[in-house]
Amino acid sequence: MRSRSHRSAVAAIVLSCAGAAALAQEDREGLFHWGHAAAFGSGVYALADETEAQVVRLPFAKTLREPGADRVGVRLLLPLTVGVQNLDEEQLEPGRPADEIEQAAFMPGVELELSPLERVTLRVRGQAGWGKELEGVEDRARLFSLGLRSRITWADAAGRPSLISGLQWAGSDPDEAERRALIRLTKAVEFDIPVPRWEFRDETMHLKPHVLGDWFYRPPSALAFGDADSGHVATDWQVGLAAGRETGFEVLGFRLDSIGIAYRSSDHRYGIRIYIGSVF
């Protein structure tokens, strides 16, 4: 019998692919380097030869120890990203197909979850890996990411709101290009609202709406492996709604806590994505 963590990983793959097939629009001037995809998720990213790839992140993960009131939870992170050329064949050099896999990356790591206070949850993660362009200049890159995320929940308040904050640094060190790094600051508010008249297999369903903002910065050179630039480079906003229940439910034979759909927008890009669980 497959474990719950295995089922969740497979379901995440299915839903991530579905989300990548939804509406998406990008402006090349706002694209990030493909090396950041393993840390920041699915989207359109710039390749070294000035083309671009539609990248899907497959969030493989396995829970090694469940978190508890007096113990730290441990998850093994095994995200895989795969990118397909985002341009049409007439926009590419002769003989280069538009439907080939352009990029692949693997950045394993570990995430720790703990609750130092009754309504506070913290997640700390570290990852390191490697990626490669499979077409064009075939550039390779070493990838790194460090992140901290917190959630404060007011369980007795109306709507059971949670304030979510996050700080993540992602670095990419290509063989044939300059080193790059970005820092992402995240702020979000998520609610957990039971709907008594809506039941699934005799259990009350919950709606989980959220509003989320991501601010991306180029860090000072000491943190950016020599990147000379610094300052704010992009802001993304996201509004979404998930549905779930306390004991979860099954979709396509896999057990999930909740399933959501979100609209994401910035000055350079917008799109609809499907996600599972909380935005935390």
pLDDT tens track for 131-142: 999 888 888 999
Work out the average pLDDT over 276-280: 83
Task: Say yes or no to pLDDT of 130 above 70.
Answer: yes
Residue 152 lies in domain:
4-276
Q: 91 in the Ramachandran plot: left (φ > 0), alpha (ψ -120 to 50) or beta?
A: alpha
**How many structural domains comprise the chain?**
1
More confident residue, 254 or 26: 254
Give the closest residue to 86 by CA, choosing from 14, 17, 25.
25
Strand partners, 46: 33, 52
Across the chain, mean pLDDT equals 83
What is the pLDDT, as a whole number, of residue 19?
41
Joined together, the tokens standing for residue 123 give 């997640």
- Percent of the chain at pLDDT > 90 equals 43
272 versus 26: which is more confidently predicted?
A: 272
pLDDT of residue 253: 61
Average pLDDT over residues 71-85: 93
Q: For residues 261 and 103, give the distance between their C-alpha atoms in angstroms, rounded to a whole number.
A: 26
Identify the weakest region by mean pLDDT among 8-22, 105-119, 196-210: 8-22
Residue 24 has pLDDT above 60, yes or no: no
CATH number of the domain residue 29 falls in: 2.40.128
